[in-house]
Structure 1
Amino acid sequence: MFFKLFLALATASLLVLSGLLYSALSSSREALIRQKSDDMTLFIERTGQYLDLYVQNIRNLLINVSASIDGPLMEDDEGLRKLLQVQIGRNSGIVADLFVLRHDGTVLSSNQLMYDVVGHSELTRVFRIVDEHPGLINWSEPYYSPLQTRRTIAFAVALKDGTGALLAEVNTAQLTSRLNELLYDSGQGFTLFTGKGNIVSDDPKSQIVPYKTGTLPPEMEDDFVKELTGLPNGINHIQGKGGPLMAVKSERNQLGWYLVALTDERTFRAMDGRLYVRFMILGSLWFSLLLALTLAISRHFTKPINRLALQMDRLRGERVALPFRQSERRDEIGRLSRSFSTMLEHIQELLLAVKMTEERKKETELKLLLSQIRPHFLYNTLACISSLALQHRVVEVDETIRSLVKLLSYSLGRSQFAPLEEELQALRQYMQIQNVRYGDAFRLVEEVDPSLLPVPVPKLMLQTLVENAIFHGFASKGTGVARVGALAEDGRLLLTVWDDGEGMTQAQIEAVLTGLLHDEGGQAQRSGGIGLANVRERIRLHYGPEYGLRIQSEPGRWTKATIELPLP
């Protein structure tokens, strides 16, 4: 019921949100296009005003300089070059170079050294623009200037009395930089054309305009230039380097030049993407709210039955002990819930009684296992003391009794567990007893990680393993080394006892782990292996079947017993 209700409401909401998204995207795109168009139109107007002011400054410069040049100055090379250099210093942001053409054909430059070294093959042709409109300031079409190493244009005027002509080359690098500053966005560009369709200025670093490869200075692709010059005034759409561009073309300056402002239309898609993300967030919030509302609506009808079904599913294993929340309803569902609760209480009581019985049984088994260990150890130790007394070795008897007292105090404690550090200390006491009895025939080496010393372990486990090594591993050799180790690995505590005794076959390993050996007639008999079987059974009762004791051995060379316990 809940799923069907939610699906119906979600489908209706999805249709409404889709319609709203489509409408918003359309409106947003139209508004963005209008804004970009207005920005580009404003850029064109500002650029036209700037170009008019730019040209007026050049005209004033030419008029002022030409008025300062008279007959005597025309004959003074040094004075004339100095005048040109001073004017360039004052107007370097507008004009790159000033040239004076004398009537005898010689040319003086504001940068005479560069002119003499590089030359300027275009000057003779460019100076001819003076004759187009005598007495007026004229300008050329764009041409390549070797002094600027880029495309430029020139403004020229005839000097008084026909003594020569004055020409100024525009600093197109500064002009391009200034026009770039007037742009509003990094995804925009521009191209400035003369009335004849020749490029005056453009941004060679633009990422939206296609340029020819391997040209210096950079040149636009011919097809793109042809398409730009052929555009009508107003808003147009063309294909750029990386996608469609919006182009606004206008002629709003005194020179009759055309300015084309370009905008990458991918910025429109980027805005659409951001708006789409916002709608997705809004839609997610709405569907979350819708889910909550649907859940609240269906909750009144389905929750009591679902709760009762879940409680019935818990009637497996120990989950039956989980608390049950009765329904407060007064209808049939409420009566069924109360009846089920009563039945569940009876089941829980029975399970609790069974669990307590199992725990008492487990505790009894552990006590029985410990009672098997202590008499066995006590018997061996008392036999050792008896032997020492018969030999009148009083000092050894005293030391052995002291060690025995400490071991009995440790083993008879109330807790079945002790820190690993205390277990090792008890093991040292045990080895002291054995060394008194057998001399220094047996040596104990400890290889324990100090960080594991506080970890609790079952008592007397290490002693049982070392005792097995002494009485079974070293029996024929008479001497040996037992290495006791402790390390942590994959969340488990590994306790190891390695000895260099006579080793065991696989059949012997299986026999000592079960506590049974076989005599020569094949009859099963109890043996000293009961201690190892005892250790394995204690681990199983304490920690479960996934932990225990395993033995590895190479007959005649060594034996290694490993106890696996969980780390707390």
Structure 2
Amino acid sequence: MDKPQPKPLTQLQATEPERQAPPEPQPTSRTQPRPPGRFVSMFVKLFLALAAASLLAFSGLLYGAMDSSREALIEQKSEDMTMFVERTGQYLDLYLQNIRNILLNASSRMDEAMLSDTDGLQRMLRTQIELNSGIVAHLFVLRRDGTVVSSNQLAYDIVGHPELRRLFRIADENPGLVNWSEPYYSPMQVERTIAFALALKDDAGVVLAEISTSQLTKRLNELLYDSDQDFTLFTGQGHIVSYDPDSRIVPYKPATLPPELDDDFADALIGLPNGISRVAGAAGPLMAVKSERNQLGWYLVTLTDEKLFRQGVRHLYGRFAGVGALWFSLLLVLTLAISRHFATPINRLALQMDRIRGERLVAPFRQIERSDEIGRLSRSFYTMVGRIQELVQTVKENEERKKAMEMKLLLSQIRPHFLYNTLACIGSLAKQHRTEEVEETIRSLIKLLSYSIGRSDLVALEEEIGALRAYAQIQRVRYGETFRYEERLDGLDPSLLAVRVPKLLLQPLVENAFFHGIAGKGGGTVRLQAAEEQGRLRVSVWDDGEGMTEERIAELLRPLSGAEEGAEPGDPARGSNGIGLANVRERLRLGFGPGYDLDIRSEPGRWTLVTIELPLP
């Protein structure tokens, strides 16, 4: 291998002969502008420190302002909701009073004559409904004889009302007073409703009114201050009376029409204590205010989405963002001025230090002409760079020499190795008086010696295979037909035969296959194959010999130690062929880098496959 010529000191930064670093421009003055986009550590640290302090101060102010604003909004919303509760309680009391007046007014007209006149009774009930359609939906009268008269007799006769008989009995709970039921489904209204009943004088019967819960819901919605608020009305026993079916903040059961409140949500509302609480809504937490300030004993829960509280403080973000942007702009300008005054010389020196990357030294370096400590640091750095350049040049030259010496040393181990085995073969043939085979073997040996001591250490793959054939010929002369050597190169691209490979790279592989595989088994086949795979040349040697265990493979591939590098063939420390395989592996690493290696696969008693990878040009 030819020794590379060392590069001159001023060209160490170039990676190729035609690519040299452009000369550095000489300074025109003592003060040079700082390259854009580069900030010294002093500037960064100073800016970060001031920015962190400012951020903490602004964060504290923002948190305090937001917390105060949130509390104010919560207090305001609580007052609004409490006021709605009070207004709703007043409205429900008035609602109850109106129903009581309707029932008392109707009962006062129901004398014996009216009760016996069915048509007149129906007209009177319809008149009461027309006058109070926003409060009462239907009126019913249960007469002493058990017959029922309705304000809408036709609908009652057609649809019926299975719950009506049971509802009439609530009048007996508090005689002389208006009593009301729990919510139930009314076929007359096709919705859930509530009945209010009053017993007539002299046990003449019962008058019963069904309220319109949809009208009640509409009226309660009108009392709300904010469209983003909602409510739910419960009886004392926890049954739902009224709620807004179009609310966006409460969860409903899926696929129900009209929408029904989710059971878990309704249970959560029923279980809330009186006062202000929190409950999970359809899209987040809700603030709930629960109260029973009405004569009906019903519970009213008003609900407000807590997102309203966050919306109320959003305008603070804009104000603080504007002030913060102004402050950070001033902070940046102030920090930059301080940095340029104190840290510009250090930044220039740091820029020159940054150019030393990946063993690339840019020369010449500019000194900073100052008489202070920074100037002294620049002069020391300049002197150090010059010394490093000299050391790098020396190290590169020494590494090239060391690499060439290692390759020659490894190759020198292979030459006496196969020469020893070949001479042993010739000696064995001479003892058997096989003169013709001795002559043929000597000719093959001369061919191998001429090949191995050639000047170049890199040869074409075709030449390496030719030398391998001569070696195989020697083994066949010695062992006869028990040793078979085959080549499978028919599908190989002819251009691959010209690929340069290290000399005597394949012979140790075939030798290992013969002596450690076939010889112990009494005969067999050694097969050479080559192919191009994934941009690399893969050459493999296969034999059907004794095979090897994983432990034996690991031992053969163990790197050569200092004592083994000079071992003679047949040395029991590693075995003659163990040195050969480790030698091949080390030559691959030195010649082509750690990405190219030797791989051994084997099945004990059956076969062994040794593969090497070589780079393609």
User: Which TM-score tier does this pair reach, normalised by the shorter chain?
Assistant: 0.5 to 0.7
Deviation of the 1:412 alpha carbon: 10
Q: How does 1:409-428 map to 2 (within 5 A)?
A: none
User: Does residue 15 of the first structure (1) align with residue 57 of the second (2)?
Assistant: yes
Matched with 1:238 is 276
> Would you say the 8 A contact 2:276–2:290 is kept in 1?
no
- The SS at the match of 1:341 is helix
Matched with 1:501 is 546
Distance 1:364 1:199, change over 3 A: closer
CA distance, structure 1, for counterparts of residue 156 and residue 528 of structure 2: 95
CA distance, structure 2, for counterparts of residue 121 and residue 532 of structure 1: 104
CA distance, structure 2, for counterparts of residue 141 and residue 121 of structure 1: 13
CA distance, structure 2, for counterparts of residue 545 and residue 127 of structure 1: 102
CA distance, structure 1, for counterparts of residue 609 and residue 287 of structure 2: 81
Matched with 2:514 is 470
Distance 1:554 1:41, change over 3 A: closer
Deviation of the 1:461 alpha carbon: 3.8
- The SS at the match of 2:519 is coil
What amino acid is aligned across from residue 196 of structure 2 in structure 1? A
Deviation of the 1:481 alpha carbon: 5.0
Q: Which runs of 5+ in 1 are unaligned?
A: 133-139, 209-213, 228-236, 392-399
Deviation of the 1:470 alpha carbon: 1.9
User: Does residue 121 of the first structure (1) align with residue 166 of the second (2)?
Assistant: yes
1:532 to 573, 577, 581: 581
What amino acid is aligned across from residue 262 of structure 1 in structure 2? T
Deviation of the 1:550 alpha carbon: 8.3
Distance 1:474 1:526, change over 3 A: closer
CA distance, structure 1, for counterparts of residue 80 and residue 333 of structure 2: 46
CA distance, structure 2, for counterparts of residue 479 and residue 308 of structure 1: 73
Q: How does 1:70-109 map to 2 (within 5 A)?
A: 74=118, 98-102=139-143, 104-108=145-149
Matched with 1:172 is 213
User: Does residue 516 of the first structure (1) align with residue 556 of the second (2)?
Assistant: no
> Would you say the 8 A contact 1:44–1:259 is kept in 2?
no
Q: Deviations over 1:398-457 (max 9, x none)?
A: xx9xxx99xx9xx99996798xxx9999999799979987558447799xxx9xxx9x99
Matched with 1:301 is 342
Deviation of the 1:344 alpha carbon: 1.0
Distance 1:412 1:36, change over 3 A: farther
User: Does residue 362 of the first structure (1) align with residue 440 of the second (2)?
Assistant: no
Q: TM-score, normalised by structure 1?
A: 0.54
Deviation of the 1:152 alpha carbon: 1.3
What amino acid is aligned across from residue 201 of structure 1 in structure 2? V
CA distance, structure 1, for counterparts of residue 458 and residue 569 of structure 2: 36
What amino acid is aligned across from residue 64 of structure 2 in structure 1? Y
Distance 1:152 1:223, change over 3 A: same
CA distance, structure 2, for counterparts of residue 275 and residue 188 of structure 1: 25
Distance 1:130 1:497, change over 3 A: same
CA distance, structure 1, for counterparts of residue 526 and residue 328 of structure 2: 67
Deviation of the 1:175 alpha carbon: 4.3
Deviation of the 1:170 alpha carbon: 1.7
What amino acid is aligned across from residue 546 of structure 2 in structure 1? G
RMSD, matched Cα: 7.5
Deviation of the 1:348 alpha carbon: 1.1
What amino acid is aligned across from residue 509 of structure 2 in structure 1? L
CA distance, structure 2, for counterparts of residue 288 and residue 427 of structure 1: 78
> Would you say the 8 A contact 1:98–1:167 is kept in 2?
yes
- The SS at the match of 1:238 is strand
Q: How does 1:12-51 map to 2 (within 5 A)?
A: 14-31=56-73, 33-34=75-76
Matched with 2:39 is none
Structure with greater contact order relative to length (CA < 8 Å, sep ≥ 6): 2
CA distance, structure 2, for counterparts of residue 127 and residue 374 of structure 1: 124
User: Does residue 142 of the first structure (1) align with residue 176 of the second (2)?
Assistant: no
Distance 1:178 1:433, change over 3 A: farther
> Would you say the 8 A contact 1:44–1:250 is kept in 2?
no
> Would you say the 8 A contact 2:135–2:215 is kept in 1?
yes
Q: How does 1:54-73 map to 2 (within 5 A)?
A: none
Q: TM-score, normalised by structure 2?
A: 0.50
CA distance, structure 1, for counterparts of residue 576 and residue 71 of structure 2: 93
Deviation of the 1:263 alpha carbon: 3.6
Percent sequence identity over matched residues?
A: 33
Matched with 2:523 is 479
What amino acid is aligned across from residue 516 of structure 1 in structure 2? A
> Would you say the 8 A contact 1:247–1:261 is kept in 2?
yes
2:302 to 239, 255, 262: 262
> Would you say the 8 A contact 1:25–1:272 is kept in 2?
no
> Would you say the 8 A contact 1:25–1:275 is kept in 2?
no
Deviation of the 1:465 alpha carbon: 1.2
What amino acid is aligned across from residue 583 of structure 2 in structure 1? N
What amino acid is aligned across from residue 524 of structure 2 in structure 1? G
> Would you say the 8 A contact 2:420–2:569 is kept in 1?
no
Q: Which runs of 5+ in 2 are unaligned?
A: 1-41, 252-262, 427-433, 438-443
CA distance, structure 2, for counterparts of residue 103 and residue 169 of structure 1: 20
Deviation of the 1:341 alpha carbon: 2.2
Q: How does 1:124-273 map to 2 (within 5 A)?
A: 125-126=170-171, 140-144=178-182, 147-148=185-186, 152-154=194-196, 167-172=208-213, 175-176=216-217, 179=220, 188-191=230-233, 201-203=241-243, 224=273, 227=274, 238-239=276-277, 247=289, 262-263=302-303
Distance 1:186 1:427, change over 3 A: farther
